Every structure is written in C-alpha cells, then in structure tokens.
Amino acid sequence: MTLTLPERFRDATFESYEPQTPSQAEALRVARAFVAELRRTPSWAERLRALLGVGDERLPQGLYLVGPTGTGKTHLLAATCNALMPERACAFLHSSTLFRQTEPPDAFAHRLADQYAACCLDEVEIDDPANEMRLAGVMKTLAARDVPLLATSNVAPEEYLATQLGDGRVQRFLRTEVRDAYRVVGVRGDDYRRTRAVEQSGRGWVGPSDATQRAMRQARADATGAARWWTFADLRRATTDTAHTDLIEDLVGLDHLFIEGVAIADTDDAFRLLRVVDALYLHEDAPRLYFTAARPPDDWFDPDRHAGLARAVAEKFDRTVSRLHALCQIRPVEQKEAGQV
C-alpha cells in the first residue's frame, strides 16, 4: 500500500505557506513544533521515564487542523508530511480513500502502522455517521500503535453527525477524547483561491446559454490536442455508468474538457460534480477545464438553503467551488458581448 502526496502538493513547505491571519500563523507554528518534536531523539532519561511509566512523556496522538475552505490546511498538512520525510515514512491519503476500504477499520489501521511512522489524512468530511465511526476506529488503532495521525477538516470532531446519534463510546471519543489527545488547531481566514491571484489554466463563462456556449465553442476551436465536449447531463451519465477511478483515468488522457450547462438541481448532482472536480484538481495530468453555466458557481448549491445531509454535502461542495476558482478564470458573459468573447 503506497500512499503519497498529490503532485499539486509535492513541493509544499512551511516556508512557502504565507499566513494571512493570526490563526494561520499559529497553525504554522504548531505544525512546525509538532514536526520538531516527532523528529527529536528523546534523552536516555526520557526513555527511562517512559519505560517506567513515570511522568507524561507521551506526545499528543496527532494534529487536527480545522477551518473553512481555502485557508491552506492541506498545504500545511503536505508541508508537515514533507518535513517528516524521509526520516519518518509518512502516508498521505484523502478521507475518501479511507472510507472506501472494505476491511475493518482496525485492520486497515494496522496495515498503515506496519508501513508508516505517521499518517496524514486530508479533508475529513461529515456526511455519514458510519464513516465517522470508521475514522474513530482508525484513530484509536493508530494511537495504540504509536503512529501519529495528522488531519484536516472543515468541522471540529465534536460536531460530527455521529456525535448526535447517542452517547456510546464512539460518540464520547469524538466529543471529548480527541480534544484531549490531539492538538486541535483552528485555521481561519478568507478563501485564498477566491481572494488572491492563483494560476488558472481553464475558463468558465456565466450568463445566457447562447452567449456562453458561443464563447466556449470559440475556445474549443482554438484548443489543440485531445478534447471532449460534454453537456452536464453527459457528465452525470458518465459518473453513473463508469467506476470513478476508470472515469478519472479516462479524463486525464485528455488535454481539454468542456462541460456545457452546469446546473445543480439536488444533492446527487452536487456530489457527482464534486467527485470529478476534486479528482481533477489533485491529478498531475488533469485536462484543462472549461464550463458554461447560467449562474456563478458560488450560487449553485448554497449551504444556507439546505439542512441535514444536504447541508453537509453543500458545505463540502463549497470546497469544490473554491477549487473551480483555482482551475478556471470565471467571468460573466452578457448577451451583447458574446460575439466579442
């Protein structure tokens, strides 16, 4: 089992992280200190005290970075992974990789511990209590094996859906024990993908359908290399008929991907687009992405208009919209200017 950093974050370092708020600066300080502590060789006296069970020499079981989309949590996590390597073998995986596992959580965690000295888990999500309980099982097993877990999330552990379902051991673990055993650090601030200049290779056009389609057709005519034009309905069908890994493998063989008429009608639409955009954002060979839509991406699936599971998906979808801003230059197109785009 090999779990490595996505290409986008291979060069992430603490030095290249630029904190914009006091909480981001504090998160950077804590991450650096955590790495330094993990890499430090304990003295013989510390080892003796630990062996005798005297004092509190144990490190925290991990680091949990929590905050809104686009504050650099994944950059900090990747920088931590890079700083630990190669002295300490470090696994890096998205939470979806964990939740797709079919083996029991403790068995998966033992396999991780057999290969890695630390584990980085990106984008822990809250839309399925069963997955949250799976995460709790992995956290407990890694702690028993003395393998630190470093995670990012938009939600604090005590706010998981599973914590609202009763007062069992898993619920108590998520509500209280994680705070006691992990360094939980808030990473607050504005979404840098929306507020700061980032490199964007694709395009997005928002406005009347005939105007936006005309603009995208011109971009298609100018594009060289392998290209595919899909309606949003085509994309939905592809995500239904093709296994996700096979679909992404197919798409990364393209140079350009054009999606016409993106419109999110429900949670299912949002989740299908979310999985595709997030995978392309992280893939080193992703095609250049283009899309048209009647409304701006920020208005596609507003969390404030939903409740329960739909709200959880909408909050997750906000990360996808943020990544669209990083992938595409998004601009409104008026009817009168369509011929000039």
Please check whether residue 1 lies inside any domain of the structure: no
With cut-offs at 50, 70 and 90, classify the pLDDT of residue 16: very high
> Are 285 and 180 found together in one domain?
no
> Are 170 and 210 found together in one domain?
no
Residue with tokens 């939905």: 236
Q: Are 324 and 193 in contact (CB under 8 A)?
A: no
CATH code of residue 49: 3.40.50.300
**How far apart are alpha carbons 313 and 110 in whole angstroms?**
30
The fraction of the chain above a pLDDT of 90, given in percent, is 55
- Secondary structure (DSSP) of 64-85: EEE--TTSSHHHHHHHHHHHHT
With cut-offs at 50, 70 and 90, classify the pLDDT of residue 37: confident
Average pLDDT for 289-317 = 80
Q: What angle do CA 255, 299, 340 make, to 5 degrees?
A: 55
Split into its structural domains, the chain has a count of: 2
Write the pLDDT tens digit of every residue in 224-238: 999 999 999 999 999
Q: Are 204 and 331 in contact (CB under 8 A)?
A: yes
Residue 135 reports pLDDT greater than 80 = yes
User: 51-60, 63-72, 171-180 — which is least confidently predicted?
Assistant: 51-60
Residue 99 reports pLDDT greater than 90 = no
Residue 338 reports pLDDT greater than 50 = no
Please check whether residue 85 lies inside any domain of the structure: yes
Write the pLDDT tens digit of every residue in 181-194: 888 899 999 998 88
Residue 171 reports pLDDT greater than 90 = no
Q: Residue 156: its pLDDT value, please?
A: 79
> Are 37 and 171 found together in one domain?
yes
Residue range(s) defining the domain that contains residue 158: 7-186
**How far apart are alpha carbons 191 and 322 in whole angstroms?**
7
User: 49-63, 127-141, 262-276 — which is least confidently predicted?
Assistant: 49-63
Residue 175 tokens read as 């509500």
> Are 274 and 139 found together in one domain?
no
Q: Are 76 and 192 in contact (CB under 8 A)?
A: no
Please check whether residue 274 lies inside any domain of the structure: yes
Map residue 205 onto helix, strand or coil.
Answer: strand
180 or 337: which carries more pLDDT confidence? 180
With cut-offs at 50, 70 and 90, classify the pLDDT of residue 166: low
Average pLDDT for 289-310 = 82
Task: Using the 3D structure, point to which of 137, 163, 186 is the last residue of a domain.
Answer: 186
337 or 119: which carries more pLDDT confidence? 119
- The DSSP call for residue 55 is S
Average pLDDT for 20-30 = 96
Task: Using the 3D structure, point to which of 186, 216, 237 is the last residue of a domain.
Answer: 186
Residue 89 reports pLDDT greater than 90 = yes
Please check whether residue 273 lies inside any domain of the structure: yes
Contacts of 130 (CB under 8 A, 6+ apart): none
> Are 62 and 182 found together in one domain?
yes
Please check whether residue 47 lies inside any domain of the structure: yes
> Are 174 and 59 found together in one domain?
yes
Q: Residue 253: its pLDDT value, please?
A: 95
340 burial via Cβ count (<10 Å: 0-12, 13-18, 19+): exposed
Q: Residue 49: its pLDDT value, please?
A: 60
> Are 162 and 38 found together in one domain?
yes
> Are 15 and 116 found together in one domain?
yes
> Are 174 and 205 found together in one domain?
no
Q: Residue 157: its pLDDT value, please?
A: 74
Please check whether residue 299 lies inside any domain of the structure: yes
The fraction of the chain above a pLDDT of 70, given in percent, is 81
> Are 212 and 279 found together in one domain?
yes
Please check whether residue 2 lies inside any domain of the structure: no
> Are 23 and 49 found together in one domain?
yes
Write the pLDDT tens digit of every residue in 235-246: 999 999 999 989
Residue 101 reports pLDDT greater than 90 = no
Task: Using the 3D structure, point to which of 186, 215, 247 is the last residue of a domain.
Answer: 186
Please check whether residue 52 lies inside any domain of the structure: yes
> Are 129 and 157 found together in one domain?
yes
Contacts 24+ apart (CB under 8 A), 145-148: 145/109, 145/110, 145/113, 147/109, 147/112, 147/113, 147/116, 147/117, 147/118, 147/119, 148/38, 148/59, 148/60, 148/61, 148/62, 148/63, 148/118, 148/119
* Longest Cα–Cα distance in the chain: 79
